[in-house]
Amino acid sequence: MKLLLTILSFVSAAAAASAAVFATNTPDADAFVRSNAPASNYGAAGALSVSGSNAGNGSGVTNGVFDSFIRFNTAAMVTNFNAIFGSNNWVISSATLVLTENTAPGNAIFNQGTGAFAIRWVASTNWVEGTGTPMAATTAGITYSEESSLLNTNTDSNLGAFTFTGVSPVVSCPLAMLSALVTNLQTGGEVDLFLTAIDPGIGFVFYSRNFAGKPSSLPSLVISAVSQPGISAIAVSGNNMVLTATNGVAGGTYHLLASTNPASPLNQWTPVATNVLAGSGTFGITVTNAAVPPSPRFFILQTY
C-alpha cells in the first residue's frame, strides 16, 4: 500500500520533567519605580518592590504604587543546554522567578503588607536601570512616568499571579510557559519582566541585584530544560501507521495531533494518540487507519 504524503514535526509545550537546571543568580538590570515620585529613578537602591496604593510604611504613611522591572540575559543558559543536550536538541520545561524579602529595607519610602502581585513578560527592552537610590534619587534611568510607554497589552504576556504571604522570606514564582517567553528564553537574549501589585494592600520589598549582602538573596531566574523528543522511524502495519520516537522524558505525556492542512492553527489539529512514557527514552505511537486514502494527513508530536 502506498503511504500518502505525511509530514512529521515536533512542537514543544511545557515538558513534563527537567533534565538540567540553570540559574541566573544576578539580573543584568533591575529597578523599582513609584507613583509618588514619577520622575525619579531608583536603579541602585539594593531593593525592589511591588506595592498597592493602600499600603503604608511602618508608621502608617502611604507612599503610593511601586512597580519593578527585572532583566535577565539567557545567552549562558543556551550555551549550557547546547553543551548538555546538543545544539538546539532541547526544550525549556519551566522557568521560575525566585525573590527574597528584604524584611528591613531601612528607608521610610517602602510600604509594607501582604497580598497578590502579577508578573508580565515585556516585549520592550528599551529601559535603563539608572543609579538612583531612596536617599539620592536621579532622573536618569527608568521612572514611573516612562512605564506606560514600555508596556503594551498587544505584545506583552501575563505570566501569572503570585502571593506574598509574609510567612517565608523566599517567594518562588513559577511562570506560565507562554510562547513569547519560551521563544525569548531559547534565543539567548535579554528577557524583561515587569512586576506590579494586584491587591491594593500589598507592600512586598525584596532584594535587587545591587544588594551588597549574600548572593543567595538576589533575584534569580531558574530554568529547566529537557531533551527534545523526535521521530526516529515510521512503519506501515496494515492500514495503521506506527511511529517510533526517541529522547522522551520519563512520566511525560506525548500527544500526536493530525490535520489535513499543515497551515491550520495548532488548536484546530485533532488529537489521534496519547502516550505516557515509562522509564525508557524510546516510545511508540500507533495511528489507526492513517494509511488509508484518499486524503494526506500531517502529524505533529506535542509534549506537555
Q: Could you tell me whether strands 190-197 and 66-73 are parallel, antiparallel, or unpaired per DSSP bridges? A: antiparallel
Q: Is residue 266 part of a domain?
A: yes
Domain carrying residue 160:
20-226
Cα(132)–Cα(124) distance, integer angstroms = 22
Last residue of a domain, one of 210, 226, 242: 226
pLDDT at 281: 59
Q: Is residue 285 part of a domain?
A: yes
Cα(208)–Cα(193) distance, integer angstroms = 13
Residues of the chain with pLDDT under 50: 1-19
Grid cell listed for 241: 501507521
Both 88 and 119 in one domain: the answer is yes
pLDDT at 29: 97
Both 161 and 49 in one domain: the answer is yes
Residue with grid cell 505525511, as numbered in its chain: 6
Q: Is residue 240 part of a domain?
A: yes
pLDDT at 167: 95
Q: Is residue 207 part of a domain?
A: yes
Length of the chain: 304
Both 208 and 270 in one domain: the answer is no
Both 57 and 163 in one domain: the answer is yes
Q: Is residue 14 part of a domain?
A: no
Q: Is residue 13 part of a domain?
A: no
pLDDT tens, residue by residue, 42-80:
999 999 999 999 999 989 999 999 999 999 999 989 998
Minimal CA–CA distance to 218: which of 227, 209, 226?
209
Both 159 and 240 in one domain: the answer is no
Cα(86)–Cα(54) distance, integer angstroms = 51
Residues 6+ apart with CB under 8 A from 78: 186, 187, 188
Q: Is residue 5 part of a domain?
A: no
Q: Is residue 7 part of a domain?
A: no
pTM for this entry: 0.78
